[in-house]
Amino acid sequence: MLLICIAHGAAATRLADVRVVNHEIIMLHFKDGEVIRRDDAKGNCAYMGYCHNVDGSKTVYYGEALNVDLAHLPDS
């Protein structure tokens, strides 16, 4: 029930994983977005997976970014 409320209320993030750490702690892993990198086996970054060449990279955001100026307000 709690997880459904958290996932439903967080439009700019996705619940990626839930793990039990111990009998008192549950870890919730949220993703705000991801960067999809192209690795087409060409160029000096072939097969590296972490190349800094941004050509062909795509950033996917899950909703709008958090407005940190309003986040501390109870009504936000």
Residue 76: pLDDT band (50, 70, 90) is: low
Asked if residue 72 is part of any domain, the answer here is no
Q: Which of 7, 24, 26 is nearest to 16 (CA)?
A: 7
Q: Domains in the chain: how many in total?
A: 1
13: left (phi over 0), alpha (psi -120 to 50) or beta: beta
Asked if residue 68 is part of any domain, the answer here is no
Asked if residue 55 is part of any domain, the answer here is yes
- Asked if 18 contacts 26 with a C-beta cutoff of 8 angstroms, the reply is yes
Asked if residue 69 is part of any domain, the answer here is no
Q: How far apart are CA 5 and CA 9, in angstroms?
A: 6
Strands 58-61 and 26-31 come out as unpaired
Asked if residue 29 is part of any domain, the answer here is yes
Residue 55: pLDDT band (50, 70, 90) is: low
Asked if residue 75 is part of any domain, the answer here is no
Residue 63: pLDDT band (50, 70, 90) is: confident
Highest mean pLDDT among 6-10, 53-57, 64-68 belongs to 64-68
- The domain containing residue 35 runs over which residues? 2-61
Distance of CA 44 to the CA centre of its chain: 28
Asked if residue 48 is part of any domain, the answer here is yes
Asked if residue 25 is part of any domain, the answer here is yes
